Amino acid sequence: MSTLINPTTGVELDHSPASATLVEADAAIARAHDAFPAWRDVAPGERARLLRAFAAIVDAHLEELAQLEVLNAGHTIGNARWEAGNVRDCLNYYSAAPERLFGRQIPVAGGTDVTFHEPLGVVGIIVPWNFPMPIAAWGFAPALAAGNTVVLKPAELTPLTAIRIGELAVEAGLPEGVLTIVPGKGSVVGERFVTHPLVRKVCFTGSTGVGKKIMAGCADQVKRVTLELGGKSANIVFADTDVAAAAASAPSAVFDNAGQDCCARSRILVQRSAYDEFVGRLETAVRAFRVIDPADEQSEMGPMVSAGQRDAVQAYLDTATVAFTGSAPDGPGWWLPPTVVETTDTRDAIWQEEVFGPVVAVMAFDDEDEAITLANDSDYGLSGSIFTSDVGRALRVARRVEAGNLSVNSHSSVRYWTPFGGYKQSGLGRELGPDAPNAFTEEKNVFIAH
């Protein structure tokens, strides 16, 4: 693996894990396959107990995991603690699934008909660098609960927390081979999950471009696949809302995690009669946004994950007309200030493309229909927000916006106990929520003649 760098300082980290070779990836898959029959046959209550033990040990190492993420990914310490806690919470939530993996009994003539949810076997989980801990857990917690074994590839830039979580799983008592972390390249380890016949499902989170390749590759074996891809989510602000509150909450909805968030509300649509007031208040809020050392408890935004990501975002800004920015530290590290662009042309790259950095485009609209048309004028459909004091309008608009996760008068979108996923090119399938374990099973129907 190439050398890991602390994004806050630009200084190399002491240890960079080795990249797995193709042979090592195959060996990990083989071990996961060998571990599968025994894991499938662990009694439901015992599998539940092991997952709760795993959750407890993650909780006991919460601060260590959080500090590791600040170091490796430049996440603010507040976010990193939430992320490690989210791993614990996902494990606790899905630890209730083994005893509740219900089938159905369906009335038929001449016998009894029952269904079973059978685990798939080895599941391959491919994780991006933007939320290394939660996205890993959204895959492995329900997959393990349903009786599968897991091989998991963290992103090249951010493998450290996943490797540590893999060690904690073994300490908690999960048998060897049940959860194996395989750090390495997407083109080697990730592709092997797609091509290896013993991997029965690929659960991919990352860019839409790579997701399309993975879906095409999985087609070859009719391999099960879940895709969580990019986004260009709209924050729709109607003039009948509390404009001050909407403007105050808009920066964190897009600049959290330095905008490296698939759910970032990176397009703000504001009804024309409230536009000037909103943009004025937004400027105040953006200038006050604390972009400082992510290890500082007060930090609201840290650096970009890498020099490459910072340069990619800067390339968008080089051709855009910036309205105003917040601040960012000078000196080493991959910093960019939160940046606001006012747009009138929906063909602008900054309006259409997922910038994946601390950049937001703002545009005016006249009425509800136009707001919905503009919001849906995107290949993506992951999340979005609607600010209005009219409950009828909130529901009308929420039903018509083509996105998987919407919030009204707030920006929350990911809870481990509610479903998460995208419309259109934002993805395929859903993660999280009560049904997630079923996505890691085959439904089997058995008829017993009387």
Residue ranges that bind ligand NAD, judged by CB under 6 A: 126-131, 135, 153, 155-156, 186-187, 190-191, 205-207, 210, 213-214, 228-231, 262, 354, 356, 382, 422, 426-427
Q: How far is the CB of 352 from ligand NAD (least distance, A)?
A: 14
Q: Which is nearer to ligand NAD, 119 or 427 (CB)?
A: 427
Q: Are 254 and 358 in contact (CB under 8 A)?
A: yes
Rounded Cα–Cα distance for residues 67 and 298 (Å): 15
Q: How far is the CB of 358 from ligand NAD (least distance, A)?
A: 14
Please pick, among 228, 300, 354, 431, the residue that the annotation labels catalytic: 228
Decide if 342 is catalytic: no
Both structure tokens of 138:
């959204």
β-strand partners of 119? 441
Q: How far is the CB of 112 from ligand NAD (least distance, A)?
A: 41
CA dihedral over 415, 418, 422, 426, signed as positive or negative: positive
Q: Which is nearer to ligand NAD, 25 or 362 (CB)?
A: 25
Q: Which is nearer to ligand NAD, 148 or 425 (CB)?
A: 425
Residue 74 φ/ψ, nearest 5 degrees: 75, 20
Residue 178 φ/ψ, nearest 5 degrees: -75, -40
Rounded Cα–Cα distance for residues 248 and 437 (Å): 37
Q: What is the CA radius of gyration of the chain?
A: 23
Q: 């309006």: which residue's tokens? A: 351
Q: How far is the CB of 184 from ligand NAD (least distance, A)?
A: 8
Q: How far is the CB of 161 from ligand NAD (least distance, A)?
A: 13
Q: By C-alpha distance, which of 171, 121, 175, 182 is closest to 146?
A: 121
Q: Which is nearer to ligand NAD, 182 or 372 (CB)?
A: 182
What is the end-to-end Cα distance of the chain in Å, rounded? 60
Q: How far is the CB of 207 from ligand NAD (least distance, A)?
A: 3
Q: Which is nearer to ligand NAD, 226 or 388 (CB)?
A: 226
Rounded Cα–Cα distance for residues 222 and 245 (Å): 48
**280 CB burial (10 A radius; 0-12, 13-18, 19+):** exposed
Distances (CA, A) of 198 to 92, 159, 440: 28, 24, 15
Q: Which is nearer to ligand NAD, 238 or 420 (CB)?
A: 420
Which residues belong to the active site?
Answer: 228
